[in-house]
Each structure stands twice: as structure tokens, then as C-alpha cells.
Chain A
Amino acid sequence: MNRVTDEKAYRRRRFIAGALGLGALGGFSALRYGDGTVSAKQSEAPVVKAASEELVSEKTGERLTNKYAATHYNNAYEFGWDKNDPVEKSGLFQLRPWQVTFDGLCAKPGTFDIDDLMGMPFSHLEERVYDFRCVEAWSMVIPYNGRPLKDILRVVEPLGSAKYVAFTSVLRPEQMPGQASAFSTLDWPYVEALTIEEAMNPLTFATFGVYGDQDLPQNGMPFRITVPWKYGFKSPKFVVRITLTEERPEATWHKENSREYGWYSNVYPDISHPRWSQATERRIWSETDVERIPSRVYNGYADEVAHLYPGDRQQYR
């Protein structure tokens, strides 16, 4: 190779390097921010004028997080780890038919259709406005539609030996891309559990919808359990099995990393988490209105649940 072609080859390399560099910068950023890939389906986003359009519960008068925020910012690793994966990647998920099996230490085990679990038309279910507090130190105020779990559990008649209630979520990798992901370290299906006293507490809510809407897989429908004084991952979604046990059952995040995710995982602002300080939370009212507020012990439900946890709080973290 003579000097001239040599120089030509290097010039080509310079061009390739420069073009690749700029192309990568431009391409990556344009793809990522150009059409709102960072967010979910931009066209649906309502334009919110903060104070004037505050959403308020008709029944209780409490201020609510708007529905768009609550349905486009979710943790459901079954669909993916990103906050908008649950809304964007749940298109194949079949909400019906849905059945829930009750087994273990109960006198009347059985499998029930979801409409029988509701026990009444969906529109007649109770609305409960709960603060939802994620372990990631953000929170929302959400109207849940459902009925106390204790009313359902009574039907299957738990035995005296039943000390815990285990929840198993659905396993459908063909409809839930996160369950099929090779990069996820979680074991599927998702499992969670409560003590029988926690499960029978009137606050523990068998949930069939939010904002009066049942068709929201991103929020864990058709059937989830809402436990408002614990970090959000203790409220299992897509529940298909409820098992009464004597031994303490495993829970998915606790099994994944017990140092970070305690078995009880009650909201204790004074007990610091290795990843997030729990002293404050970011209250998400809407995509334009996020407020930093102090967190409360038991997420503000101490009056109703503090009696369940005698002695040193550390053991209930």
C-alpha cells in the first residue's frame, strides 16, 4: 500500500468515526425524546392546569391523584421494569375469564369466579380513597373499588391453625413480557403474604378496580389486594390463589433481597432503607404537580393498625 492510498484509508476512517459518533448522539437522543418515548402515549395525556383542575373524590371530598398519572406510572414487573411498561405492554393481557382459588387451612376451600367474589355488581362496590405509598418514596391518592378482604375470607372459613394468608399472582409469560424477560432476576409468579390479623383488618381491601374502572391491568386488575399501611409491593396484583397457612410464606421481593425488602414492610419513616430514605415522599398529583411531603408512620393509618405490631418496630420493617 503506498502512502497516498494509506492516507485515503485513514481519511475514510475519520469520516466513519465522526459520522458514527454524531449519528449515535443524534439518533439515540432523537429516538428517546423525539416522539415522547420516555413517556407513555403522549396524545392521551391531559393538559392539567394544576390548582384549577384538582381532582376530588365525589364520595369523600379528598383530593385525588389524577387518573392519567395513576394509570401511566406503575410498578408491575410482570410487564417490565419501566414505569410505563405496565400500560404499554399489557395489550395482550386477558382480564376475563378470571378465577381465584382458595385453599390451605380453611373449612370451605374452592375456586370462585371473579364476579362471585365481588358479590354484587361492580358499580355497587365500595369506594375507598387510600394513600398509596411506594417503597421508592413516591405516593399517590387513589380511589379503589372493592370490598374488605375479611368479608371474602369469612366465606371460606379459615381454621384456627391458619396464621398467614399467602397470595399468588398469575403466571402468563405469553401475555406478560416481563415474566418472559431474560434480564429479570425475579422468580415468577409473584407471591406475597400477610399475617391472618393483617388480612382480616378492615383496611385490607379486595380490589376489583380503581377510579371506577375495572379494565386496568397496569393497576393489578382484575383482582388485587390493597394494604395501605405497607409499601406498595405488599399489595399483590393479578391474584389467582389465596392460601391459608400455618408457616410464614415467602414473598417475592423479600426473597430477592431481604435486607432491602422486609417481610412486613410497614411504612416507617424513621427506619431508613438502604436505597431510599423513607423520611419524605414525593406525592404525585399529576404529571405536572409533584409535591415533597413528610411520610407518616403506617402511612397515616397508625390508629387502625398500630396495635398489630407490639414491641420493637425493627422486627416489623
Chain B
Amino acid sequence: MIRPLVHAGLALPALLIALAWQRHALGVDPQKALILETGIWTFNCLLVVLLMPIVSRWARWPALLKYRRAVGLWTFAYTSGHFIFFLSFYLGWDFPRLAEEIAERPYVLLGFAAWLTLAALAMTSTRASIRALGKNWKRLHTGVYLALLFASVHYLLMIRSDWSWPVAYAAIALFLLMARLRRARFMRA
């Protein structure tokens, strides 16, 4: 009952973006719109993933955590869309140029690092990997906070003049990071 709702909720933005693309409703520069929208939804999904444990404690709802993998995989789907659109529209699949971009532009480097991190987490999200990695699995998957950090700075670096949205996202990210650190210290004490 809940699982289909989770998938439907996270598929909805992708579906609406695809429909808008198809009926030319993404404005004059649909390529840029596709890149921006998939980027924002990567961030939204990341925030959902990281809010889930907090909500699960607040509502004594341990079962909620069963759906974390689904949200995590959707996060990876959006970030991959973001990366693929960038590769295709801005670089024309020119991989040597991708290497140059990563070397020269910190925002590309951070975006790429976030994508790699999320890819590693998605690859190790199977039951088999959880078993095989044992204790290390948990350690590896705190890497999602690293991805959040990369994504926040990546977005902050996009600021040219208007800083409202990037700063709002960074503030939420900071809050989630602090909450996690506080909890880690609390658990150890």
C-alpha cells in the first residue's frame, strides 16, 4: 500500500517533466530546463532520504525506513538524468572535454563527485551487497551526507546574483547534517 505511493510520488515529477518536454512547455530552452529540473529533483530526493529517519523517530514509524532504498534509487535516477542531459546538451558526449570540465570547473567536479558517490551507493544497495559488506555497509552509506555536501556546494557555486534558492537548500542541508552529527555523538555517549 505504501510502496506504490512512494514510487508514484517520486515518479510524478519525472513524468510531468517528460510530458512538459513533449508538449514544448519547458520554455524556449528546454535543454537547460531539463538540466535544472533534474538537478533540483535530485536535491529534493536527497532531502527526503535524509528526513526519513527523523520522521521515523518522530512518529515511531520504523517501517518507514523500509522505503529508504526506493527513495535512494530515485535520487540516483534523477542525478543520472541530470548528468546525462549535461553530457549530451552541453558537451555532446565529448569525454575528453568532460575531463577538462572536471579539472577546470569546481562546480562540475563537485557535481561529478556527488554523482559518483550516489552511483556507489546505488550499486551497493542490493541485499547481497548489504550481506557481503556487513558493518562496512552502514559506514559506506553515510556517504549520502557527503553527496549532500557536494550537491549543496555545487548549487551554491551556481549563484550569479540571486542567492535565494541555493542558500535555502544549503541551509536545510546544513540542518540535516547537524542533526545527524548530534545524533551520532548522542549515540556514542
Contact = CB atoms under 8 A, between A and B. Distances in A.
Interface of A: 10, 13-14, 16-18, 21-22, 25-26, 28-30, 32-34, 36, 38-40, 42, 45, 47, 68-69, 72-73, 77, 80-81, 83-84, 137-138, 181, 183-186, 256, 272, 274-275, 277, 279-280, 282, 284, 286-288, 290, 292
A13 B162 contact: no
Contacts of A183: 162-164
DSSP class of B's interface residues: helix, strand, loop or mixed? Answer: helix
Contacts of B60: 10, 13
Given A17-B59, A186-B161, A73 B27 contact: yes
Contact of A81 (B26, B48, B161): B161
Contacts of B9: 21-22, 25-26
Interface string B56-98: 0011110010000000000000000000000001101000010
Which of B2, B13, B29, B97 is the most central at the interface, judged by chain A CB atoms within 10 Å of its CB?
B29
B37 A22 contact: no
B13 A284 contact: no
B184 interface: no
Contacts of B48: 21, 25
A29 B12 contact: yes
25 contacts: A18-B5, A25-B9, A29-B13, A29-B16, A30-B12, A30-B16, A33-B13, A33-B19, A33-B37, A36-B20, A38-B20, A39-B25, A40-B28, A42-B25, A69-B28, A83-B27, A84-B28, A181-B162, A186-B161, A275-B107, A277-B101, A287-B29, A288-B24, A290-B89, A292-B89
Nearest to B88: A292
B28 A256 contact: no
Contact of A39 (B2, B28, B44, B161): B28
B13 A13 contact: no
B124 interface: no
A68 B28 contact: yes
B27 A38 contact: yes
B11 to A, nearest CB: 10
Given A14-B59, A183-B162, A33 B28 contact: no
Contacts of B161: 77, 81, 184-186, 256
Interface of B: 2, 5, 9-10, 12-13, 16-17, 19-20, 24-33, 37, 44, 48, 55, 58-61, 64, 89-90, 92, 97, 100-101, 104-105, 107, 160-164
Contacts of A38: 20, 25-27, 33, 37
A290 B29 contact: yes
Contacts of B27: 38-40, 72-73, 83-84, 287
Given A10-B59, A40-B27, 10 more contacts: A14-B64, A16-B59, A25-B10, A26-B9, A36-B25, A38-B33, A137-B90, A184-B162, A290-B30, A290-B31
Nearest to A138: B29
B17 A274 contact: no
A102 B48 CA distance: 57
Nearest to A292: B92
Contacts of B92: 280, 292
Nearest to B159: A185
A100 B18 CA distance: 47
Contacts of B58: 13, 17
A14 B5 CA distance: 14
A192 to B, nearest CB: 15
B105 A47 contact: no
A191 B58 CA distance: 53
Contact of B100 (A137, A138, A277, A292): A277
Contacts of A181: 162
B53 to A, nearest CB: 12
Contacts of B55: 17, 21
A211 to B, nearest CB: 15
A287 B163 contact: no
Given A282-B31, A290-B31, A81 B162 contact: yes
Nearest to A22: B9
A237 B19 CA distance: 35
A274 B103 CA distance: 11
